[in-house]
Amino acid sequence: MRKLITFNFVTMNGYYKGPGGDISWNKHSREESEFAAQGAQSDSILLFGRVTYQMMAAYWPSPAAMQNTPLVADGMNKSEKIVFSRTLDKAEWNNTRLIKENIFEEIRKMKASPGKDMCFLGSGSVISQFAEQGLIDEYQVMVNPVVIAGGTPLFKEIRSQLDLRLKDTRTFKNGNVLLTYQPQ
């Protein structure tokens, strides 16, 4: 059975986006870039909500992405991708499938069939929806040692309590800490 994993960067005070969607507070060192390159080459299916998808699709196929982080860009561009959106008419980033309806049923079918694990990158409001349905198997949260004045909390739209168990931690030299949780 496939796993559904989430991966998000957050501030110390729990925001995954600053005001106006700002993510400039998220600092990557070489160590995080190497970690991201390993993840991008992991052969998981990447999942996105519309907003994150559009941001990623605008950057990763660009010459700047290929110059700045070629291994991550290569992995992101080659990966199979799914975007969940009721408003997009088509998904133009290569290897991307658009799912407009019955998103939970689609993921339940995928999880029950053999194949690649799936990983949400960003996409906070969609993650909250999938968490409410009990479909997420693992939460990976990279906490940045920064506090910002406002923004969007990672689980802004959650309506019920999520009880999680710490599975693993990893500390990066720049102070970022990766926390990995599983639902209890």
pLDDT digit string, tens, across residues 65-89: 999 888 888 888 999 999 999 999 9
pLDDT at 156: 86
Residue in the block written with tokens 């080659």:
78
| Residues 6 or more apart whose Cβ sits within 8 Å of residue 128 | 155, 156, 157, 158
- DSSP conformation letters of the chain: ---EEEEEEE-TTSEEE-GGG--TT----HHHHHHHHHHHTS-PEEEEEHHHHHHHHHHTTSHHHHHH-HHHHHHHHHS-EEEE-SS-S---STTEEEE-S-HHHHHHHHHHSSS--EEEES-HHHHHHHHHTT---EEEEEE-S---SS-EETTTT--S---EEEEEEEE-TTS-EEEEEEE-
Q: What is the mean pLDDT of residues 21-47?
A: 78
pLDDT at 42 over 70: no
- Percent of the chain past pLDDT 70, that is, above it, reads 97
106-145 pLDDT per residue, tens? 999 999 999 999 999 887 889 999 999 999 999 999 999 9
More confident residue, 32 or 15: 15
pLDDT at 136: 97
Q: What is the mean pLDDT of residues 13-37?
A: 83
Two tokens at 97? 């499938």
pLDDT at 110: 94
Alpha carbons within 13 angstroms on the beta-carbon side of residue 89 total 0
Instruction: Tell me the three-class secondary structure of 43-87, residue by residue.
Output: CCEEEEEHHHHHHHHHHCCCHHHHHHCHHHHHHHHHCCEEEECCC
The residue extents of the domains of the chain are 4-183
pLDDT at 102: 94
Q: Check: CATH 3.40.430.10 for 4-183?
A: yes
